[in-house]
Amino acid sequence: MKRLLMILIACMAVWSQAKADSILNNVYARHVTSLNGSWNYIVDPFDNGYYDYRLNASKDGFFRNKKATSKSDLVEYNFDTAPLMKVPGDWNTQDEKLFFYEGSIWYKRDFNYTSKPGTRAFLYFGAVNYHADVYLNGEPVGVHEGGFTPFNFDVTDKLKEGANFVILRVNNERRPEGVPTVNSDWWNYGGITRDVMLVETPRVFVDDYLVQLPKGHYDRIEGYVQLNQKTPDVEISLEIPELKIQQKLRTDAEGKVTFTCKTKPKLWSPDAPKLYEVVIRHGDEVLKDKIGFRQIETQGKSILLNGKKTFLRGISIHEEAPYRQGRVFSKEESVVLLSWAKELGCNFVRLAHYPHNEFMVRAAEEMGLMVWSEIPVYWTIHWSDPETYKNASTQLKDMMERDKNRCGIIIWSVANETPHSEARDRFLARLAAQVRAKDNTRLLSMAMEVTGTKGNISQVKDSMSRYFDIISFNNYLGWYGGTPEDCKTRQWDIPYNKPFFISEFGGEALQGKHGDKDERWTEEYQEELYRNTLEMYNRTEGFAGTSPWILMDFRSTRRQLSGIQDFFNRKGVISERGLKKKAFYVLQDFYRMKKEQEQAKK
């Protein structure tokens, strides 16, 4: 009995590790030391470093980084002699053996630290896919679940003077109750996929802020600044030099200031993506950001940007690296993808199917691309599992937390292609309410499905529609059913007085494969499909935009056809090697025409 109790306590010590602290907003503007670079790694398919053979948490686990102290000592792992892996980076594309690997890998990195009085230190991870256990100097720091959102832990009291080491157990096994669940159409890239940093802040610091145009107003900027502690009567200043705004404010009992500045900023738009430098000062702490101001709303079946009707000329993008395989984690690679979107004539990108890295979102804003941002509530999530809900809701919160000051984001999306059920409706309605409670300055949507077809009339009638501003749906007429020819006669019944948006359509083509327009996998088939699909929607009332599937071919375990797919979903209008297919030019022409029509109306 006593033994059992001891084991239980040992297990709890590991499993009750802290959840991450609230996300450090605008982290790159803070005092950071990069922990990117080469990390030692140990592949651990049976989780030896975590459990002993009885499946109890191992008291000598890898996270302790135990070293042999004499030549007779038995220690069956050694980080110092283990191979090196680049962080950030997925493991699948760094070691051939790990291409299909799903399981645990241990990472370790040494670093030096010199404490400074009056500061706090946080370990910050841009993203780790999927489950992370973090240890500092052999002690548990915390756990995080979810592969695409940032997290950080306050490690002030765990750091040592001089040499320190951080160890992570990263596990990317797909779980039925996970978000996403076991089935998806993208590569399950594992590892520390985004930047790792040690962030130093003052003891009391600016934890969070929001600077925006309030909904419906063009003549004032509003927002708040929140300290990490409920410290009243602290001076905080807000400056927007270009608008000659300088406000000195004092925190309330919650450690918060709210402000309103009468001013008429130049508005952000794809044609003029104006951003203002915003400076927040709190004692010696200075946080700078670049923030733009815009209004986005719907009116009947139209989308209005800054009061003007706008057609969303979009493209869907996976966070898949151009010219190499793997996850994108840098500004440079984000800009390559977004430049292709610009070349297509886009004013909008759908960043599918999970929150992309912060560089991508910021670069889109700088380049004049409106953004749809979504969480991986994809296909058949466990709608009735409260833990799944909690997970999805946390990912939604964290996505909104990180990016709430990005005016480029105009749509939060809570799901993709989710088969109807009452449990689904309850789940998604709660997520919708969560968004509404936090943010009334953006539109809310989800990618729905076609609900039925009779003769040549297809209907989209999803009970969730009442919660959303835009009726978005994915439809692959001509690929997963019917032929591109069918688009010529297909009619649409979308019984809502709301704009409709085609969040996906498309078909696969192997770049360089040519043939007749009815021959699958050829560029000509994809070209014909694009032409007919665009014509079909363009004659349907309420068509407010589209983000065809997809900018670039991307890795997917589901796509196995030898000689054609070879584990790539080939629906890109550009190949993974950056070569444009014929459909690229059809879309480009269509967007040119839409833009000209819009300009002629002005």
For ligand GCB, what does the binding mask look like between residues 470 and 489, x meaning CB under 6 A?
A: ----x---------------
Q: Does 504 bind ligand GCB (CB under 6 A)?
A: yes
Residues 382-421, mask of contacts with ligand GCB (x by CB under 6 A): ----------------------------------xx----
Q: How many residues bind ligand GCB (CB under 6 A)?
A: 9
Distance of alpha carbon 304 from the chain centroid: 25
- Nearer to ligand GCB by Cβ, of 310 and 474: the residue is 474
Q: Least distance (Å) from ligand GCB to the CB of residue 36?
A: 29
Tell the smallest beta-carbon distance from residue 119 to ligand GCB (Å).
44
Phi-psi map region of 170: left, alpha, beta (phi>0 left; psi -120 to 50 alpha) = beta
Under a CB-based contact definition with an 8 Å cutoff, are residues 374 and 414 in contact?
Answer: yes
| Residue number with CB closer to ligand GCB (148 or 276) | 148
| Closer by beta carbon to ligand GCB, 424 or else 571 | 571
| Residue in the block written with tokens 């907003």 | 25
Q: Looking at residues 185 to 224 of the shown chain, list those that interact with ligand GCB (rule: CB under 6 A).
A: 185
Looking at beta carbons only, is 393 or 474 nearer to ligand GCB? 474
CB closer to ligand GCB, 228 vs 316: 316
Does residue 339 sit in helix, strand or coil? helix
When binding is defined by CB under 6 A, the residue of 467, 549, 568, 584 that contacts ligand GCB is 549
Give the nearest distance from C-beta 570 to ligand GCB in angstroms.
Answer: 9
> Applying CB under 6 A, does 576 fall inside the site for ligand GCB?
no
Residue closer to ligand GCB by CB (options 280, 460) is: 460
Select 95 or 449, whichever has its Cβ closest to ligand GCB: 449
How far is residue 282 from each of residues 23, 202, 251, 279, 287, measured CA to CA in Å?
19, 10, 11, 10, 9
Please, which contacts does 283-289 make with residues 24 or more away whose CB atoms are closer than 8 Å? 283/202, 283/234, 283/235, 284/202, 285/201, 285/202, 285/205, 285/206, 287/26, 287/29, 287/30, 287/206, 287/209, 288/29, 289/26, 289/29, 289/211, 289/405
DSSP helix/strand/coil, 525: helix
Residue 507 · residue 479 · CB < 8 Å: yes
Residues 136, 83 contacting (CB under 8 angstroms): no
First to last CA, the chain: 80
Please enumerate in sequence order all residues whose Cβ is within 8 A of that of 508, keeping only pairs 6 or more positions apart, or say none: 479, 520, 521, 526, 564, 565, 569, 570, 571
Q: How far is the CB of 274 from ligand GCB (least distance, A)?
A: 33
Least CB distance from residue 506 to ligand GCB, whole Å?
A: 7
x/- contact string, 170-189, with ligand GCB (CB under 6 A)? ---------------x----
Q: Which residues contact 351 (CB under 8 A, 6 or more apart)?
A: 317, 319, 360, 361, 364, 371, 372, 373, 374
Q: How far apart are CA 149 and CA 103, in angstroms?
A: 20
CA dihedral 39, 42, 43, 44 (to 10 degrees): -130
Q: How far is the CB of 180 from ligand GCB (least distance, A)?
A: 10
**Between 402 and 571, whose beta carbon lies closer to ligand GCB?**
571
Q: Of 166 and 352, which CB lies nearer to ligand GCB in the complex structure? A: 352
How far is residue 313's CA from residue 602's CA, in Å, rounded to a whole number? 17
CB of 504 to ligand GCB, least distance (A): 5
Contact between 268 and 312 (Cβ < 8 Å): no
425 to 464: interface string for ligand GCB, x by CB under 6 A: ----------------------------------------
Minimum distance from residue 503 beta carbon to ligand GCB (Å): 8
Q: For the CB of residue 183, give the shortest distance to ligand GCB in the complex, in Å.
A: 11
Smallest distance from the beta carbon of 572 to ligand GCB, in angstroms?
10
**Minimum distance between the CB of residue 556 and ligand GCB, rounded to whole angstroms?**
7
* Nearest one of 81, 99, 77 to 90, comparing CA atoms: 99
356 is an interface residue for ligand GCB by CB under 6 A: no
CB of 573 to ligand GCB, least distance (A): 13
What is the DSSP track for 408-445?
A: TEEEEEEEES----HHHHHHHHHHHHHHHHH-SSSEEE
Examine residue 145 and tell whether it contacts ligand GCB (CB under 6 A).
no
| CA 355 to centroid of chain Cα atoms | 1
Instruction: Tokens 């948006």: give the residue.
Output: 501
Which of 416/441 has CB closer to ligand GCB? 416
Phi, psi of 143, deg, nearest 5: -125, 155
Residue nearest to ligand GCB (CB): 185
**Pattern 304-343, binding to ligand GCB, x per CB under 6 A?**
----------------------------------------
Q: Please report, for residues 193, 368, 534, the alpha-carbon distance to residue 336 in angstroms, rounded to integers and kept in the order given.
A: 18, 14, 25
CB of 391 to ligand GCB, least distance (A): 19
The three-point CA angle 234-437-268 to 5° equals 75
Closer residue to ligand GCB, CB minimum distance, 364 or 502 = 502
Contact with ligand GCB (CB under 6 A) among 92, 395, 458, 569: 569
Footprint on this chain of ligand GCB (rule: CB under 6 A) = 185, 353, 416-417, 474, 504, 549, 569, 571
